[in-house]
Structure 1
Amino acid sequence: MFNHGTQTEEEGSALPLSLQLHSLSWLPCSTGVVGGVEVGLCIAPPTFPHSFTLCVVGVHNFASSGPITIKQFERHGSSESSHSNSADQLRKWRPSSQSATSDTWAFKEYGLEYGIVIDSGSSRSSVYLYEWPGEKQNETGVVTEILNCRVDGDGISEMKVDPQKDEKSWTAFRKCMAQITVAIPAEKHKTTPLFLGATAGMRLLHQLDEQRSNEILASLRTYLSSLPFDFHNASIIAGQEEGLYGWITVNYLMGNFLEKNLWNTYVQPEGAKTVGSMDLGGASTQIAFAVQDDLEGPDYMPIKLYGYPYNVYTHSFLCYGKNEAEKRVLDKIVQESRDPAYILNPCYPEGFNITVKASSIYETQCIEKPANYNPDQDLFMVGAPDSDKCRSLVKSIFDFKTCSSAHCSFNGVEQPPVTGEFMAYAGFFYVKRALHLNGSVDFDQFQSLVREFCHTNWTELREEKKWISERYLKSYCQGAHYIFTLLADGYKFDKETWKGISFQKEVKDTSVGWSLGYMLTLTIVMVVIVFIFLIRTCY
């Protein structure tokens, strides 16, 4: 009889599947994974060559004290060896008439599964559709991005302010979700999980205006739950999770977790090494890389993927995303200026000028408002390029002195020394593209290119960089100094370790970001849920 509770080692449930089946010497059995469930394929005696028994033995430490006979199946179609141990052979069988009850669907071929993740960042939202085979490789799904859709407009943290802008945002959301809906087979809609994860923009808004933050999420939950999918939640994810999921994405796409061998099965690559990841969003930045197993602390996260354990250092710096960093630099410039009607900005190109409201800089939790703050005050800024002064201003928003341990990045945060290869994506990539960097660029060359960019006048920049919106183009001098300062002075990349950094947006036509890593992690949980459901329906 099956025991619904978890069993102890003394009861024998910890025995490997192969050993449990081997004990049935009178019944030849083999193992496989079907629909994400580890099963034993037990062939009936030769006198009954056209039938077999399916035994659910255990998944994820849930196991019985022995094989459990769930259904008896008959084979239909051409005859092959009844002792085949390939899980693929199981698909050629169907329930016998004696056992064709309402729950036999649980053992059909699952085919492809789908999942949707909405990445709601500080500046925009993107919807990603993933698919993976029903079978898992060493307990984790092999996930592929098949579609992504950028939601037009600002990030969700700008909602609940201007009703007209909100309506445009909802229209853009509906447009993207319509594309996603069409791409998923109708019969899979109800079983396709849908998640929305809000990142640093909403983390900041939650600190500034918790009520508005909650109202935005409530509206999103109402809308997303009306869709034909298995909506789970719309929530704000922690910065540390964002960094970890980004690291998982990078290494999955680089093939550092799995590779196909000659037998077309997935195994861990020989001598596999992982790559560190660095993400630069609008409101926060994350770094993550694998470290020794014995390192412990609040920034170390142990995780198991594809059957192998990893210890990952990951830290997220709120208020150090590219947009918030620029606001902090602008604050420094404004505070140093004597006349708000004419402010010289050493990070803006010559020939450029702009008038902005004070609220565009100071309405954030990342900056302390001046004593005489007036949100409607006009600030007129004029480009007065000075690369050295711009870099000095950028460095001033960091604290490189405070450190209570042997190694720190900045602001007193402990960080092990960086080694090996790293992939820098999101905002890092866009700065690299704006500088027109091709291939790898060394430490000194990067600084030289930044200086050259900063001293190019506005007319030439607009002519050379027509593909970049002026909204962003004006800020790339400051942005380039910022990422160099973050990498060199913050994370402590030197001339040698800098060579291991690659700046990328995609790998193998798949976007680099936290959402894929999140979906990969989610598939580990989903197989446990499926297993529990199968046991309940078959008991």
Structure 2
Amino acid sequence: MASKQKMGYKCRIATVFLLLLASIAALVAVAVIQDAWKAEEYGMEYGIVIDSGSSRSNIFVYQWPGDKQNETGIVTELKNCRVDGSPISEIKVDPKKDAKTLDGFRKCMKEVKEMIPSEKHRTTPLFLGATAGMRLLHEKDEQKSNEVLESLREYLGSLPFMFQNASIISGQEEGLYGWITVNYLMGNLFHGNLWNKYLHPEGAETVGSMDLGGASTQIAFAIPEAQSGPDYMYVKLYGYDYFVYTHSYLCYGKNEAEKRVLDKIVQSSSNPSYIENPCYPQGFNVTLKASTIYDTECTTKPKNYNPDQDLFLVGTPDSEVCGDIVKSIFDFKTCSSSHCGFNGVEQPPVRGDFLAYAGYFYIARAVLNEGLTDFSDFNASINTFCHTEWTLLKKQKDWISERYLRTYCFAAHYVFTLLADGYKFDEETWKNINFTQQVKSTNIGWSLGYMLSMSNMLPSEVKVIPPMTNPLFAGLIFLFSALTIVTVVAVFIFLIRACY
């Protein structure tokens, strides 16, 4: 009988110990599961980039999932709002024009605020990048350019977004960000697989980027290995390294180049009241103020300059003469390295495919009515365009504003000279140029590339979702903690009884 009692006592002790171990194991398991099995939920992130160019400002809104791929956001464009009024390089001159420009900013920013969820306003970064127009103003009047940027910082800082900075970006940066935009949109930097993961495309080749703005023009393309120099840049995207050649030519944007050509034409004429312009069509004439040509750092003011002087220009079309005048604003002879673009600037030989956008697209479309052509076709089309009478030209190109149409003979010669003589595209490599405005319904420009680069440095908001709700987790912890305490007490009681 005593033996049976002793055996039963041992069984009870063993059962209590087993229960104690089970409760401790359950307690640990619940804690580990709650910590190790928690999920991370990323929301959508937003960013705003204001592209303040020499002609106007555009406000772009971008979004990307917080779950970045190799630390870079998969960015899409949500909105492109064109700001009414003058470019920022022309503010602080006429209060009425300044008020119109500020109203344009307010109108766009109102639309932006309505588009981005209010709970995201505080964490949405806002950048303003000024390009060639402000670069020229900075050279001409540094104090004024600083005042313009400071007034914009004050306004943008008052908005409910996470304002970062308003600054003038360099020409090299503008070219690099344009290159990033082009290759991102074309899928050359990553692609999705069946598991919705983004991978680096096997054997993918990047394409070159050529941007023609109002005050500057940029070229950028990847090179096989790193080289030293101010125009060679390194960038890391989606976990991969790229070496890019990029250069920006200030004063060689379409508008500033036209002023330089007009200066050549005006200076060669002895009669300002009747100036023959070989780059204007037959039947067209216009009166320009001297200031429209010389109120810039890109042209040299003549002696006895009068900004209000009227200059009467008459179209006397001669495509060959026009082309010669265009070539005269370039220096193709100076070169201190093995390969140069123009004006003595080092440039490796162009390689691979190129996208030519912005001004390139509009000029090619006006002359060719399509974006693809070969070297000789482009050259022949210029001659035909330049010798088309003004009235007929307006009928043929009724979708182009007369303000721009009158400039396209010069502009076409300019594009051809820039590409063929400047960047050294020949009959073979010309076939690799695609004149385009968009890729996948998205406008090409530097701002998207800028946002992609900035998304590398922007933190994402993460919502941690545990496998168990807080009440359930707390209840299980309480239950197994209580069970552990009870079994410990029971063990203690049994041990006491065993002693006495």
TM-score tier, shorter chain, comes to 0.7 to 0.9
Amino acid paired to 1:186: S
Which of the two has greater strand per residue? 1
Separation (CA, whole Å) in 2 of partners of 1:388 and 1:273? 38
CA distance in 2, matches of 1:47, 1:208: 73
Task: Give, in whole Å, the separation in 2 of the partners of 1:46 and 1:350.
Answer: 93
Q: Does 2:430 match 1:513?
A: no
DSSP-derived class of the 1:126 partner: strand
CA distance in 1, matches of 2:165, 2:66: 23
Q: What does residue 380 of structure 2 align with?
A: 448
Q: Does 1:146 align with 2:78?
A: yes
Identity of counterpart residues, as a percentage? 67
Structure 1 residue 278: Cα displacement: 0.4
Closer/same/farther in 2, CA of residues 455 and 225 from structure 1, 3 Å limit: same
Query: CA offsets per residue over residues 95-149 of structure 1, 9 Å max, x none?
Result: xxxxxxxxxxxxxx23100000000000011000000000110111110001111
- Alignment partner of 2:457: what SS? helix
SS in 2 for 1:525: coil
Q: Which moved more, 1:158-167 or 1:395-404?
A: 158-167
What does residue 287 of structure 2 align with?
Answer: 355
The answer for unaligned runs of 5 or more in structure 1 is 1-43, 54-71, 75-81, 83-88, 92-108, 532-539
Matches within 5 A, 1:70-469: 73=35, 90-91=39-40, 109-469=41-401
User: Residues of 1 paired with 2:390 and 2:323: CA distance?
Assistant: 19
Determine the C-alpha separation between the residues in 2 that align with 1:284 and 1:373. Answer: 25
Tell me, yes or no, if the aligned pair for 2:211 and 2:356 is still in contact at 8 Å: yes
CA distance in 1, matches of 2:209, 2:443: 14
How much has 1:450 moved relative to structure 2?
Answer: 1.0
- Aligned mates of 1:120, 1:453 — CA distance in 2: 32
Following the alignment from structure 1 to structure 2, what is the Cα–Cα distance between the partners of residues 478 and 499?
Answer: 23
Query: What displacement does 1:457 show?
Result: 1.3
Give the AA of the match of 1:315. H
* Contact 2:256 2:298 survives alignment (8 Å): yes
Q: Is contact 2:43-2:461 (8 Å) kept?
A: no
Provide the C-alpha distance between the structure 1 equivalents of 2:228 and 2:222, rounded to a whole number of angstroms. Answer: 12
Question: Which AA in structure 2 matches 1:524?
Answer: N
Q: Deviations over 1:173-208 (max 9, x none)?
A: 111111111110000001000000000000001111
More helix by share: 2
Match of 1:501 among 425, 433, 436: 433
Structure 1 residue 50: deviation in Å?
A: 5.0
Residue by residue over 1:503-537, the C-alpha shift from the partner in whole angstroms, topping out at 9 and shown as x without a partner, is 1111111110000000000011114x989xxxxxx
Post-superposition offset of 1:154: 2.5
Of 297-306 and 490-499, the range deviating more from structure 2: 297-306
Give the Å deviation of 1:73.
4.1
- Verify the 8 A CA contact 2:281 2:386 in the aligned structure 1: yes
Higher relative contact order (CA 8 A, sep 6+): 2
> 2:468 — aligned with what?
none
Flag the structure with larger Rg: 2
Shift, 1:52, TM fit: 3.9
Cα distance in 1 for residues equivalent to 2:83 and 2:409: 27
Pair 1:294–1:224, CA change in 2 (3 A):
closer
State the alpha-carbon separation in 1 of the partners of residues 31 and 368 from structure 2.
Answer: 65
| Partner-residue secondary structure (3-state), 1:440 | coil
CA, structure 1 residues 153+50, in 2 after alignment: closer, same or farther (shift >3 Å)?
Answer: same
SS at match of 1:526: coil
How far has the Cα of 1:358 moved from its partner? 0.5
- AA aligned to 1:286 is Q
Cα deviation digits, residues 12-52 of structure 1 (max 9, x gap): xxxxxxxxxxxxxxxxxxxxxxxxxxxxxxxx988755554
Is the partner of 2:349 in helix, strand or coil?
coil
3-state DSSP of counterpart to 1:405: coil
Count of residues in correspondence between the two structures: 439
- Residue 364 of structure 2 contacts residue 371 of structure 2 at CA under 8 Å; is this kept in 1? no
1:491 aligns with 2:423: yes
Task: Write the deviation string for residues 371-402 of structure 1: whole angstroms up to 9, x where unpaired.
Answer: 12111111000011111111100000000000
Alignment partners' CA distance in 1, 2:436 and 2:112: 25
User: How far apart are the structure 2 equivalents of 1:331 and 1:45?
Assistant: 88
**TM-score where L is the length of structure 2:** 0.85
Where structure 2 has 5 or more consecutive residues not aligned to the other structure, the ranges are 1-23, 463-500
AA aligned opposite 2:240: Y
Q: How far 1:437 moved relative to its partner?
A: 3.2
**What letter matches 2:207 in structure 1?**
V
